[in-house]
Homo-oligomer: A and B are copies of this chain.
Amino acid sequence: MADGTKRPARKIPEATVARLPLYLRSLLEVAGDATPTISSERLAELSGVNAAKVRKDLSYLGSYGTRGVGYDVEYLLFQMSRELGLTKDWHVVIAGVGNLGHALANYAGFSDRGFPVAALVDADPRVVGTDINGITIRHIDELDAIAAEHHIDIGIIATPASVAQDVADRLIAAGVSSILNFAPTIVTVPPEVSLRKVDLAVELQILSFYQQRKGTDAHAPVASAVVPPPR
């Protein structure tokens, strides 16, 4: 490993970063195939993106393709995994073991892709002490102790919205600097902490918007039924 690889010092656009995992997934699908290379066109097809966009995205990682041939699947997989930081496991703690937290704790896709669940925490004394998938749920007050035992990289918030901010603060206090928030509320974090959010109901509402526009004028809303603006 005596520095044969290039320095990835370039700043990669956010939109590109969001697509890298898609490429990775597609590459894994063709990893065992007969042909050891893949063209940008085929990779685009598998990932559901434009071919030009694929080439541009990959060029941010470096010139890893061969003109006239394509990209070597194995080599590209390696480079992309390295860029995404997937050469090591990232330990996850799930806060809140309700319906969603329970499902996430059982979800095999996390460990499979390098994100093993290291700990589960909750505030409800009725679930603290019980096991999920071989992991004992501990009380959220023990977060600092847990962080001292295992190194925790990522915190997942699967609590009710009302306590999401408090849980986020506790996670940060315990040294977690990447958070994925499933609670339907805004959580504010200091700038050095990465935060992403997923709101399931919001996704449905967006679908609802476009669905309504589709079936427009089928039974158009009567304008007179609309309440007048307040004074």
Residue in B185, B200, B206 whose beta carbon sits within 8 Å of that of A17 in the complex: B206
Tell me if A192 counts as interface (CB < 8 A to partner B).
Answer: yes
By the criterion CB–CB under 8 Å, are B78 and A227 in contact?
yes
Contact with B along A86-126 (1 / 0, CB 8 A): 10001010000001101110110110011100000000000
How often does this chain occur in the complex, in copies? 2
User: Which chain B positions have C-beta within 8 A of A82?
Assistant: 221, 226
Whole-angstrom distance from the CB of A164 to the nearest CB of chain B? 13
Most B Cβ at <10 Å: residue of A22, A84, A85, A184: A85
Chain B residues positioned under 8 Å from A104 (CB to CB) = 103, 200
Q: Are A194 and B178 in contact (CB-based, < 8 A)? A: no
B209 touches A17 (CB 8 A): yes
CB neighbors of B among A1-55 (8 A)? 1, 3-5, 17-18, 20-22, 24-26, 46-48
Q: How far is the CB of A55 from chain B (nearest CB, A)?
A: 17
Contact with B along A179-198 (1 / 0, CB 8 A): 11000111010111010101
A53 to chain B, nearest CB (A): 14
Additional 15 contacts, C-beta under 8 A, given A24-B205, A178-B208: A17-B209, A17-B210, A21-B199, A21-B206, A83-B209, A84-B209, A85-B208, A99-B102, A113-B205, A115-B208, A154-B204, A154-B211, A192-B214, A192-B231, A196-B207
Query: Which of B20, B102, B208 is within 8 Å of A84, CB to CB?
Result: B208
Whole-angstrom CA separation of A87 from B187 in the bound complex: 28
A177 at the binding interface (Cβ < 8 Å) = yes
**CB distance A223 to B3 under 8 Å?**
yes
A117 CB to closest chain B CB (Å) equals 11
A149 is an interface residue with CB less than 8 A from chain B: no
Q: In the complex where A109-B200, A110-B200, A110-B204 touch, is A231 in contact with B64 (Cβ < 8 A)?
A: no
Q: Check A22 against B211 for contact (C-beta < 8 Å).
A: no
